[in-house]
Amino acid sequence: MDTEELKARKKALGYTNKMISELSGVPLGTVNKIFSGATDAPRYDTLRAIEDVLMARRYIKEKGRFVYNWPEMHTSTLRVEEGVLATFYKTDKRPGEFTGEDFYALPEDHRMELIEGFFYDMGSPTVVHQAIISYLIVEFNNCMEAHPEKDCEVFVSPLAVKLCPDNKTYVMPDIIVLCDREMLADPAHITGAPELLVEVLSPSNRDHDMEFKREIYRKYGVKEYWIIDPVRDEVQVNDLTNSFFPKVYTFDDEVPVGISGGDCSIDFRRVKARLERLRR
């Protein structure tokens, strides 16, 4: 949305600048300047935060969890919205009560995760984000083929992982390394905690992936969690079974795969070289 579209949407909803500021986290002074026209070229992330509020996509951090605004989503002015909101209007459930049935009822074009009964907006991936995943899939598959005795498989998002049996947590990591084939019994998703999960950070999910999801993965038994930071060219490797302190590598390092017992590693120099060609 451009600023004129934001103004029209704000007027239709009857939102005040103060309400938008509180819901979006954008300072009130900045919101005032945008809607008064005093700011000619607002930053993209600022406009996106305001747009998320006006389109009921905004989530807020509350007690360590990201939850959709409530009850704003149920106000009559928002019932005209399409897509994910329609799912909520078919049920009396509140955030924290959603289950796998609600997760699978979501429209296919909405990238959402369900964690302990709460829905989380995954946002849209960037070109660099997708490029890193495609490069890493090749590297991980080469690693698995070089060590067939490990009997592991590599999967890429979108593929749901049902982390716990209560049917209220379905995540979609960027890359999944699975070595227990019993987890593939259900064709719709992986059931249980895979040995290794990889997430590539985007501006919209940085805190969510680095803090919140790391502890969720630890809680439900994931052994190893890699966080790839394309801004800093860093790889954070979390041994979720034995340590609370991650090991940090750069894109100039060869990063060992912990679950392989040191037999397998990913050479991030090759990933870096391909990214440099992409960024030219």
Q: What is the pLDDT of residue 79?
A: 27
Question: What is the average pLDDT across 100-126?
Answer: 80
**pTM for the full model?**
0.69
Tens digits of residue pLDDT in 30-75: 999 999 988 877 887 788 788 777 765 433 333 333 334 433 333 3
How far apart (Å, rounded) are the C-alpha atoms in residues 93 and 73? 12
CATH domain 1-55 topology: 434 Repressor (Amino-terminal Domain) (1.10.260)
- Segments making up each domain of the chain, as ranges: 1-55, 59-121, 127-279
Fill in the amino acid letter for 112.
M
User: Can you say whether residue 246 is alpha, beta or left, with left for phi > 0 and alpha for psi between -120 and 50 degrees?
Assistant: beta
Contact between 150 and 260 under an 8 Å Cβ cutoff? The reply is yes
Please check whether the two domains, 1-55 and 127-279, share a CATH topology: no
Q: At 76, phi and psi to the nearest 5?
A: -60, -30
Q: Going by CATH, does the domain composed of 127-279 fall within 3.90.1570.10?
A: yes
